[in-house]
Amino acid sequence: MCAHYFAVYLSSLVLLQVMLRYPFLKRILSSLFYCLGTLRENLQKEKHTTVSLSKCLLP
């Protein structure tokens, strides 16, 4: 579990560097981060991971 969070942390750092170099990707990545944030909130409330993921990816 801890390794998973570490991988997420590293990938977020990489995404941050990409955002700084390519501003046109900023909108896409910010919507992705918003999606992941709402997914994390949904995971804390409920345990239906696939339902939350499909709601997030298919609005």
* Sequence spans of domains, the chain: 2-57
C-alpha distances (whole Å) from 38 to each of 8, 21, 24, 43, 52 are: 16, 26, 23, 9, 9
pTM: 0.35
Give the residue with greater pLDDT, 10 vs 51. 10
* Residue 38, pLDDT above cutoff 70: yes
* Residue 27, pLDDT above cutoff 70: yes
Position 48 scores a pLDDT of: 55
Position 32 scores a pLDDT of: 79
* Residue 56, pLDDT above cutoff 80: no
Helical H segments across 22-48, by residue range: 26-45
